[in-house]
Structure 1
């Protein structure tokens, strides 16, 4: 399909509206909950999870919303917390691996990969790699971007109206940054999808190419080019297991990572660890799991 500027613009506008609907109300809600210290009544349930990842207890809502919804919701809850570059990096790694579990698990189910395997794999690897990241030296992380991108940590407000006005301004500012990034990525990725090489290979079964597409464009597109062939019985279960395992750990490496990099997450640590563990675990699963 040839590249269409109009189609990409329509997609970006639709995504921008989705971002606004998610980020603005969730950001304001998070600000209110934090300001009135209401988070302590909610987040204690997830204390073991955030403690294992070396994150503040208040990030629990960000983690949960990312797990079950998407990364935009997670960022909206995390943005008002004034997180450090290291904490943003941990969030980027954990949620990059384990987000939108309900939707993406169903995509992998269409490839014959069980829901239990998908969820357990993504949660366990996310915790493993996120936990390891929390042990890395603080000197590996720079706070320069974080200081510029993150909202200052909760000034004193004279009234609820004052708080709401500030939250609205900050949430719209955050939404604008995310929309600009996502719009740029949509145009770039749509152009990549339109390339003749992509179209030619998407009609064929090619494990390496499917992984490359999934890593760059996302789990939906990477798995999508395989679903029809799988349903026809043209793919071996070993191929599906390897590709599925790899993509569940490492997919949409550009878009997902950059959403967190604008807040100070370390690009090279996030990308490097996700690719390394995706390769290692997919290889080990293929080597030791018996497939009938």
Structure 2
């Protein structure tokens, strides 16, 4: 028994090391490049590009800068820009909810799209899906709230962030902390996956969710990893999918569907709670986002056989 436990621990640590090193090779260069671009004003330029599009979703032009900042960095940065932008205290709950869905749909793109690429997905389709999907969902939410006269009251901000030191030292320490917690989470997730498989819970979940998996086109073998990504984040689920893709355990088309689903709907717990701090409503940031993501992936999985898959995804399996 102890011998088998020792073997299992070595397997978990070995797999964790491979996933962690793969993710760090992606994250560290991307984090550095994004910091330099942000210092050079890339967020301002991107915000100006998206400013005209904001009107389609009932948002003022300054929302473009908020979304652009989150795209390049993370949701928290987008929220800081939101609080520092004049006039946002007069936004309606509907407007805040639409903005929050944009932040959830496309943020931290340099890192998350690079993770998707490492799993075999092409960059351009993933960018179009994340940004285009966010805009489409924002338009649908805006008109549904407007036509139903829902969430039109002035938003009350339940929270205001503390001032953040944006110096290089504070930024570097923050990134080191993020990388450290990422490593800890990967080891915990690899251990949990091993237990799920050993206890037979993974097979039970696959059996229970088989009708839904068939509907949206996610392979049963990718179920547990996809669920991890949806609940905890794309970096974690994507990192584990990279491992499966390199092993050749999951077909590239299934990898594309799983990564695309995670792109549109991931970190349902943490990120949802985060944007609720600006008053966003669950109808948009949780329910609409999840239904929209499942519907989009169901459509994509049916269109995939008719498309040139080599333009969307490639095999990264290693012999």
TM class, shorter-length: 0.5 to 0.7
Q: 2:132 aligns with which of 104, 124, 136?
A: 124
Larger RCO (alpha carbons 8 Å, 6+ apart): 1
Q: 2:281 aligns with which of 247, 255, 266?
A: 266
Aligned to 1:106: 114
In 1, are the aligned partners of 2:221 and 2:250 still within 8 Å (CA)?
no
Aligned to 1:256: 271
Aligned to 1:227: 242
Q: How does 1:1-292 map to 2 (within 5 A)?
A: 45-80=49-84, 81-82=88-89, 83-137=91-145, 139-141=149-151, 146-149=155-158, 171-172=162-163, 193=188, 197-201=192-196, 206-290=221-305, 291=309
Unaligned runs of 5+ in 2: 1-8, 13-34, 165-177, 203-219, 311-319
1-structure distance, mates of 2:192, 2:156:
41
In 2, are the aligned partners of 1:59 and 1:77 still within 8 Å (CA)?
no
2-structure distance, mates of 1:42, 1:240:
30
1-structure distance, mates of 2:114, 2:197:
21
Inter-CA distance 60–230: structure 2 relative to 1 (3 Å threshold): same
TM-score (ref. length: structure 1): 0.67
1:194 Cα offset (Å): 6.0
Aligned to 2:208: none
CA deviations 1:153-179 (Å, max 9, x no partner) are xxxxxxxxxxxxxxxxx6439xxxxxx
Aligned to 1:156: none
CA deviations 1:81-106 (Å, max 9, x no partner) are 21332122111111211111111110
In 1, are the aligned partners of 2:54 and 2:63 still within 8 Å (CA)?
yes
Inter-CA distance 194–287: structure 2 relative to 1 (3 Å threshold): closer
TM-score (ref. length: structure 2): 0.62
